[in-house]
Amino acid sequence: MSAAPAGSAALFAPYTLRSVTLPNRVWMAAMCQYSAEAFGPNAGVADDWHFAHYAARAVGGTGLIIQEATAVSPEGRITPYDLGIWNDTQVEALRRITSFLKARGTVPGIQIAHAGRKASTDRTWKGGGPVGPEAHGWLPVAPSAVPFDGDRPAPHELTADEIGEIVGQFAAAAERALAAGYEIVEIHGAHGYLIGEFLSPFSNKRTDAYGGSFENRTRLAVEVVDAVRAVWPEELPLFFRISATDWLEEDGWTADETVRLAGLLQEHGVDLLDVSTGGLAPRVEIPVGPGYQVPFAARVKAETSLPVAAVGLIIEPAHAEKILANGEADAVLLGRELLRDPYWARRAAAELGAEPRTPDQYHRSW
């Protein structure tokens, strides 16, 4: 992979966390593909679609690719078609992806996740509704027996012992992620999935040590971070994805709590907060527009010493550059824009006067 000094563009300056140096600040957010087999010996195993999908963005110059929400257990999948990392067969298939990304100069990351009460649904392009055993579904679990929506079954309320088992599943997933060749692990605490469900009083109605106060509602998040950090090498970074607000007028998780949690997570070994919003409750009014979530990342950066990445309809290179130049975030994470254009990083480099990372095989495009 040929490369040149990044020049003055902040977006193309290298960034180091622990022992890992990322070649630029153009990062790919985790986005589910819902394309693995649903059952049998290859359930949750990455296939040619996943390889081609991630390889294209690496060839396109993306500095970090965070693999889609990858379930720590079969019951932790959003859909039966999610990737998983609960067995060694899945690890073998993922090594093919991480090896290619590293060879292209892209850092491979993985988001490990449990869907909680939003589990056992159909693929989004088929409506995303709940699926039962006849379609390889199962009964979801949650902090409380409160369904996500009226068409969803009431989830099973987790016992304290079952919560401990899930914490162990996150740790085992991190160990497998290391064996698969990932250099960054991101814990998914956003978008109304299990950890986020514990954080928010809207979905967490518990009266034990995991409910009620801020300390209790954040207990699972901290326990998962501690368990993962205990098995994840000291020299490798750990990310945490958060929904900075539920966008609810009352009884929701708030931006104030996000800032408070950021400091706590940093104390427990988190290296960067991936700041998103929403996802906990359906039909919530959100003021969507270019960069609409950036202020939440900027606030965490301003009020803590924890590095942050910003997301949320960041489309134009000049906008991404401005976010970094203004000190609102340390990196930008692109989602849908990288689905539309796998070569976004190359286009951005050209627009900002930096030389793109280009494979030698593509030298004719220089």
Q: How many CB atoms lie within 10 A of CB 354?
A: 24
Give the tokens for residue 106. 């892209």
Q: CA quadruple 113, 119, 122, 124: dihedral positive or negative?
A: negative
DSSP 80: T
Catalytic member of 193, 210, 292, 343: 193
Query: Which residues have CB under 8 Å from 294's CB, separation 6+?
Result: 310, 312, 314, 323, 328, 329
DSSP 357: P
DSSP helix/strand/coil, 241: strand
DSSP helix/strand/coil, 213: coil
Give the tokens for residue 140. 């979801």
Task: Report the run of H or E that residue 287 belongs to, with start and end.
Answer: none
Nearest to 36 by CA among 25, 45, 27: 45
E strand spans, 136-290: 141-142, 156-157, 184-189, 238-243, 272-276
Is residue 343 annotated as part of the catalytic site, yes or no? no
Whole-number Å distance between alpha carbons of 199 and 15: 30
Over its C-alpha atoms, the chain yields an Rg (Å, rounded) of 19
| Chain centroid to CA 116 | 15
For the chain, the first-to-last Cα distance in angstroms comes to 13
Q: CA quadruple 198, 200, 202, 205: dihedral positive or negative?
A: positive
Nearest to 362 by CA among 338, 346, 349, 339: 346
Catalytic residues: 193
